[in-house]
Amino acid sequence: MSLLFQLCPFALGCNVFTLGIIFTLLLLLLDFMKRRKPCKDFPPSPPSWPFVGNLLQVDFKSSQIALRQLSKTYGDVISLQVFWKPMVVLNGFEVMKEALLQKSEDIADRPIIYLFEMLGFDENNKGVLFANYGQSWKDLRRFTLSTLRDFGMGKKSLEERVREEAGYLCDAFQSEQGRPFDPQVLINTAVSNVICSIIFGERFEYDDHKFQKLLRLTEEIVTSESGKVTQVITLFAWISKFPGLAKPFFQTRMQLHKYLQEIINEHKQTWDSGHTRDFIDAFILEMEKAKGVKDSNFNDQNLLLIIADLFAAGTETTTTTLRWGLLFMLLYPDVQRKVQEEIDQVIGRTRKPTMGDVLQMPYTNAVIHEIQRYADIIPLSVPHMTYRDTHIKGFFIPKGTVIMTNLSSVLKDEKVWEKPFQFYPEHFIDRDGKFVKREAFMAFSAGRRVCLGEQLARMELFLFFSSLLQRFSFQIPDGEPCPREDPEFVYMQFPHRYKICAKVR
Ligand code: HEM
């Protein structure tokens, strides 16, 4: 029967050419029917192709640059068509300030991605990162922030944990004995250990096999899920109806979930209501309190997904920033020397840095901010969606429109920064040599959806960076090429792999 169906056009005398024309006309008709008519005052858009929309006009390898170029022609608020879905891209500091700060709630939703349905989860419980703006997101975000904040819990404070890990990281660097090595694995291990000690209540030795597996999985998730095919798949509702179709694209995430679920199960078996060991225990306590409450957001699925969020959002980001930081110290030895002078003056060579030192160290603080600004690691942030109809810079944007916040265009806004495309720590230093906050520093985004881990990340960046520069001087190894300053872009901007020599000072 199906063979007959396939042969039918040939039976009617059609050749391949005619079939091609029929197919194209059908596509155009479908495109015409599905394409949403832009409403009056909708942001301007470059001309788009049938079916794929503007997809081919945006170079995926450096989409933020392509978008910046488009904004030069069409303005700071532009619309693009991705298949039949319209999306709005926001560029530049002025626009972002209005959108993320003044209209924060209007754009606080996340686009519907079908990742969780594809993996067989209930669509109402999505953790925090991908959760829609609503009660579940509010409850979980509030719980996570307060648990991170008062993480004393009768044990070590968060700062003590990070300081302790900074010590282990320095020891691991020292064991390389000044020989050339790639610092990526050691930094990633230290950063992940901080998250582990918060969530699991324990840190791991740097050569622990089970731990290395966790590191590999979180690292791979960022790259595997930012692939073009995977991203497109998550946009189509119909694929989620056939979970088997999509699962092959999410193998890494499924392995990570399995790994985390085993740890959650172990916690449940040894849980003691009077003794909260870590984040998982604190969440289980909330689940106990919510027993009998209909539709509580403190449930097993959210526990698993929120932990996965913290690993995915909290390890690669800080690791990548620190890798950029050391790379810039190799490329700008004068900056390295000035940071070390300040460390010697304020902290000395033996006492471990504390967060209390930041205020006394304007130059180091400025350098860390400049590392984040210049490295610009998440140029397009995480997509938002309008929660209600809104206006941005006078353009009307209806509820349910995907919003891309081009953070890169803010961090490198030519109207704001003196030297947007250069590494220039003086961006954050005033005439009196004091540290100066800049409103356009939006590396963590801003508004309702601002990075939940910002405080922790700031602490890690300062304590790891200053501890390393206190103990070592960093150099490009003899005979190694000068490291590349341009990024490798896979959703995030990573430095190309490089080697370093860490000489004890
Ligand atoms: C240098 C390090 C980091 C950078 C540059 C960074 C940046 C960002 C950005 C740009 C967003 C998207 C905000 C938006 O949608 O507007 C975000 C969201 C988020 N980040 Fe971070 N982040 C960092 C570290 C961390 C850490 C250490 C954690 C966890 C402890 C974390 C957890 C999260 C979570 C859970 C969200 C989702 C928030 C929500 O949707 O409500 N991040 N981060």
How many domains does one find in the chain? 1
Per-residue pLDDT of 294-326, as tens digits, reads 889 999 999 999 999 998 889 999 999 999 999
Cβ within 8 Å of residue 392, ≥6 positions away: 77, 88, 90, 95, 98, 99, 103
* Containing structural domain, residue 265: 35-504
- Cβ-based neighbour number of residue 203 at 10 Å: 20
In a domain, 290, yes or no: yes
Structure tokens at 119: 């993996």
- Cβ-based neighbour number of residue 447 at 10 Å: 20
In a domain, 5, yes or no: no
Mean pLDDT of all residues in 115-131: 82
Cβ of 377 closer than 6 Å to ligand 1, yes or no, is yes
Burial of residue 489 (number of CB atoms within 10 Å: 0-12, 13-18, 19+): middle
What pLDDT is stored for residue 5 in this prediction? Answer: 39
CATH number of the CATH domain containing 100:
1.10.630.10
In a domain, 10, yes or no: no
What pLDDT is stored for residue 6 in this prediction? Answer: 43
Q: Indicate the pTM of the whole model.
A: 0.90
In a domain, 459, yes or no: yes
Q: What angle do CA 103, 104, 109 make, to 5 degrees?
A: 115
- Residue 87's beta-bridge partner residues? 80, 402
In a domain, 6, yes or no: no
Instruction: Please say if the pLDDT value at position 463 is more than 70.
Output: yes
Q: Which atom of ligand 1 is nearest to the CA of 377?
A: 5
E strand spans, 237-304: none
Mean pLDDT of all residues in 155-179: 91
For residue 484, how many C-alpha atoms fall within 13 Å in the half-sphere facing its CB?
A: 8
Cβ of 139 closer than 6 Å to ligand 1, yes or no, is no
State in Å: Cα 129 to ligand 1 middle.
8
**Beta strand pairing call for 472-475 and 77-82:** unpaired
| CA–CA gap between residue 190 and residue 74 (Å, rounded) | 44
State in Å: Cα 314 to ligand 1 middle.
7
Nearest alpha-carbon partner for 373 in 428, 436, 298: 428
- Pocket test of ligand 1: the residue of 222, 317, 319, 492 to mutate, having most ligand atoms within 8 Å of its CB, is 317
In a domain, 18, yes or no: no
Cβ of 194 closer than 6 Å to ligand 1, yes or no, is no
Q: Write the ipTM.
A: 0.99
In a domain, 27, yes or no: no
Q: Which atom of ligand 1 is nearest to the CA of 378?
A: 10
